[in-house]
Amino acid sequence: MLIPYRVKNPPKKFPYATLTIVAVNVIVYGCTTQYFLAIRENVARDYSYLFGTSPFLHFFSSSFLHGDIFHIAGNMLFLWIFGPPVEDRLGIPKYVGLYFLTGFVGDVLQAGLDTVFAGVMPTIGASGCIMGVVGAYWYLFPWSTVCVFYWLWWCWHGVTEIAAVWIIGLFLLMDLGEGFLYGAAGVSGGVANFAHVGGGIAGILLCIALRARRDTEALSEAKALHADAKDLYNMPLHALKTMAAEDPCNPELIRAMINPALRLRDHAAIEEALTRAGYGMIDKDPGLIAYYLMELGGDPGIYPPMYLLRLASAMERANDCEKAVGVYRMISERYPTVPECETALYRMALCCWKRMNDAATARTCVAELQKRFPNGEMYSYGEMLLRQM
């Protein structure tokens, strides 16, 4: 017996779709079973899926039915373990579409082969849907660490960690083998083995068709470290760099990189991460960019002067005038002739006078503005500011 109970692959977002599907299945199970133990016969008869005879809607009704407590417990366990990362990677619409489409493929395959081997038999359960999600997980996160409880006979049991590519592949091979074994005997084993196989293969093919991004082995190892460490700030730099390359616009990853990068004197790692993050990081986390430029002595050349102006304005709105003035001064020194420099000198003068009560520095800024841009748009504003002072 092999029972997965955890994957070391924490999703970035809360799995709303997965939780909703689990809740609906549990509610339906409670409403269609006798004392919450086994499905009522009339429900199985009226709402199961029969190949070639049932209306199409019976596929949906049957996919929310489960025979007994072990049936639903196993299905929901697999869905809760493997579903959230797949939902996170594909997004809710594609994830829900994959769930039902792969389930349909799996159920049709199971019902069709049952008809060939053992006659027309009713099919119930979300196994095809869930194995579609598991198959998608196999494709998207092949090297993800899966924590597994194993129990062989009575003397050999414990827990171990296996890469998803091996444990999920083993499950599919076991289903394939059992399916052919029972089919050759002309009986049903009570488990929809071919629904598992069909759903799993359909999940893999659908991810290929969607051109969904796959995790590398290095990224899977970094995510496993994150799952164990719980906190990004407890992770080594090489793992953070790998995760930042996959998720470049995550400011928390870059913040977590700073201390280990400084400790290892790898300043280039921070610069590479911020360069990869792009100019949008100024709007997402201006404090991080200001810290990089002012405290760490970072290279302002990775940001055009227009974006540096936005950064300084953000610092003003945050009432951090010292950093705002520092960024304005950086613009004036690095880009002395561009139009943004004129605006920076005026804004620096205004900030120094009105917010920092430093009239001397404000006058110096206005004088520099008038010297560099005698015909500029801000010249007259500088004169008005001097009269006010």
Q: Are 124 and 61 in contact (CB under 8 A)?
A: no
35-45 residue pLDDT tens? 788 888 888 77
**One domain for residues 182 and 263:** no
DSSP string, 312-354: HHHHHHTT-HHHHHHHHHHHHHHSTTSHHHHHHHHHHHHHHHH
Per the domain annotation, does 142 fall within a domain? Answer: yes
Q: What is the CATH number of the domain that holds 284?
A: 1.25.40.10
Q: Could you list the residue range(s) of the whole structural domain that residue 138 is in?
A: 2-210
Chosen domain end from 188, 210, 232:
210
343, pLDDT greater than 90? yes
Token pair listed for 302: 């990775």
Per the domain annotation, does 217 fall within a domain? Answer: no
| Per-residue pLDDT, 235 | 94
* Range of weakest confidence among 153-157, 276-280, 300-304, 319-323: 153-157
Chosen domain end from 179, 210, 241:
210
304-328 residue pLDDT tens? 999 999 999 999 999 999 999 999 9
**One domain for residues 291 and 365:** yes
Q: What is the CATH number of the domain that holds 185?
A: 1.20.1540
Residue 237 to residue 260: CA distance in whole angstroms: 6
| Per-residue pLDDT, 183 | 59
Per the domain annotation, does 296 fall within a domain? Answer: yes
Total of domains in the chain: 2
| Per-residue pLDDT, 119 | 59
Rounded to two decimals, the pTM is: 0.85
